[in-house]
């Protein structure tokens, strides 16, 4: 059927995925996942859990990772727009501590592949957004880790179209350690 275009990013391992969309007056059709095409592009995860969330404008979720059970994720937006970010936390990586962001929306239909060893978060840019993602390991309660989303050392450039007074960040995400504190403890594995 359709060909899925898989683009490399500036940080090794991250991929932006652009599906071919077939549309007419009735609507559209697209393949969102093809094991053979992903495998050919070096994405060889077996996804075992699908998650979906709904959030309103200004909600910022992140920057999350799993400590002992790191997860690869394939994320996309079903409705609305988000700015999605991954931070490289892999031991020995030449881009350790660097971030990459991409806008995902129901309009552009892009997806973002984030391998093990990255912190992940997103900011909702539209009135509401429905966010879906596949994970290659199950969620393990109590294995959560995170970094402060606004840490100046990371320097994530969140879109300015959401004003600082519009940000809706829960208490846990406001109080994650800084990148410097994380770095003193080490890194997470990309196993």
Averaged over successive runs of 10 residues, the pLDDT of the chain (191 residues) comes to 86 96 94 92 95 98 95 98 97 94 98 97 98 96 95 97 94 95 74 51
The C-alpha atoms of residue 87 and residue 114 are separated, in whole angstroms, by 9
* pLDDT score, position 186: 65
Fold classification of 46-185 is Jelly Rolls (2.60.120)
Alpha-carbon dihedral of residues 91, 92, 97, 99, nearest 10 degrees? -100
Indicate the domain borders of the chain: 46-185
| Closest to 77 (Cα-Cα) out of 49, 55, 105, 54 | 105
CB atoms within 10 A of CB 105: 18
Query: Model-level pTM?
Result: 0.94
Query: Which are the catalytic amino acids?
Result: 64, 133
Q: What are 148-191's pLDDT values in tens digits?
A: 999 999 999 999 999 988 999 999 999 999 999 998 876 665 55
The C-alpha atoms of residue 43 and residue 22 are separated, in whole angstroms, by 24
* pLDDT score, position 184: 85
**Helices (H), strands (E): how many in the chain?**
3, 13
* pLDDT score, position 1: 52
Respond yes or no on whether the N-terminal peptide bond of residue 95 is cis (omega within 30° of 0): no
The C-alpha atoms of residue 97 and residue 75 are separated, in whole angstroms, by 21
* pLDDT score, position 148: 97
């Amino acid at each position: 059927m359709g060909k899925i275009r898989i683009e490399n990013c500036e940080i090794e391992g991250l991929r932006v995925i652009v599906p071919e969309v077939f549309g007419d007056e009735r609507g559209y059709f697209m393949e969102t996942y093809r094991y053979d095409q992903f495998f050919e592009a070096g994405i060889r995860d077996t996804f075992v859990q699908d998650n979906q969330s709904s959030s309103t404008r200004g909600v910022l979720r992140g920057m999350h990772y799993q400590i002992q059970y790191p997860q690869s994720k394939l994320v996309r937006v079903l409705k609305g727009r988000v700015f999605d970010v991954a931070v490289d936390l892999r031991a020995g990586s030449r881009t350790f501590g660097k971030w990459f962001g991409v806008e995902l929306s129901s309009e552009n239909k892009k997806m973002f592949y984030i391998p093990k060893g990255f912190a992940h978060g997103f900011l909702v840019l539209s009135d509401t957004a429905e966010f879906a993602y596949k994970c290659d390991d199950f969620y393990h309660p109590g294995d959560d880790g995170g970094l402060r989303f606004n840490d100046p050392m990371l320097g994530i450039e969140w879109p300015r179209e959401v004003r600082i007074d519009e940000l809706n960040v829960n208490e846990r995400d406001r109080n994650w350690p800084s990148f410097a504190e994380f770095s003193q403890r080490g890194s997470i594995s990309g196993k």
